[in-house]
Structure 1
């Protein structure tokens, strides 16, 4: 009985190992969806960029001039709650919806500006 359990355990362990070794990347359809999202984004106009900067500056209590395309919200002093509140304020200001799956990959304020532009 113990030998049978041991061989069953070894088989299970081998299957788990084999699965881990053969897993290369997400399904092709998942990769395609990510690339489509990139193509849907547009470069923000000056008006959009300025309005985003104003909203973020107001939310974080910083000067609008510090909200550049390269700046991250963390660099501007935002914690996780500030980021959530900033996203909500941007949704309200632009009357758009910014789902979590779209906002979690954003790296800096320029990405936020571009995403909002693509929603307008």
Structure 2
């Protein structure tokens, strides 16, 4: 179950079907396309690039908001600055040292440890929030 805050959309049921390449005894093998259905409403099929298909859940709005606050603080941006999940650190004026400081602030705030190679893959606020929730989930397991 998932819900989206701040919009009129609320997802309560999502189904996914894969076409071609199904092997009944072992599950999905090399699917060529995927189609989605939400509450019975079908959406266009997506042709898959096998090495590029990834299913991921976005971080909660609360996590994104906390990351936005930390980014504003680390970059000394005014409180009324427009920082959202889509905001790229570079577009906000962050250099590599700023990005390291942002990651350190996130580690401190969320009680996590971010590996160097994971930190290098963070380009947006949403990337950071998703990584944080992933690390928190792994830590709890």
Q: TM-score scaled to structure 2, two decimals? A: 0.53
Residue number in structure 1 paired with 2:67: 52
Q: What SS does structure 1 have at the residue aligned with 2:92?
A: coil
Deviation at 1:66, TM superposition (A): 2.1
Residue number in structure 1 paired with 2:20: none
In structure 2, list runs of 5 or more residues that go unmatched: 1-50, 137-141
Q: What SS does structure 2 have at the residue aligned with 1:98?
A: coil
Alignment of 1:1-80 (within 5 A): 42-63=57-78, 65-80=81-96
Structure of higher CA gyration radius: 1
What is the rounded CA distance, in whole Å, between the counterparts of 2:96 and 2:77 in structure 1? 17
Query: Do 2:90 and 2:123's aligned partners in 1 also have CA atoms closer than 8 Å?
Result: no
Structure 1 pair 79–107 and aligned structure 2 pair: CA distance change class (3 A): closer
Q: TM-score scaled to structure 1, two decimals? A: 0.61
Structure scoring higher RCO (CA < 8 A, sep ≥ 6) equals 1
Whichever structure has more helix as a proportion of its residues is: 1
Residue number in structure 1 paired with 2:128: 112
Does 105-114 or 59-68 show the bigger shift?
59-68
Deviation at 1:70, TM superposition (A): 1.3
Whichever structure has more strand as a proportion of its residues is: 2
Deviation at 1:118, TM superposition (A): 1.2
Q: Which runs of 4+ in 1 moved over 4 A?
A: none
What is the rounded CA distance, in whole Å, between the counterparts of 2:73 and 2:96 in structure 1? 16
Matched, 1:94 2:104: no
Computed over aligned residues only, the root mean square deviation of the Cα atoms, in angstroms, reads 2.1
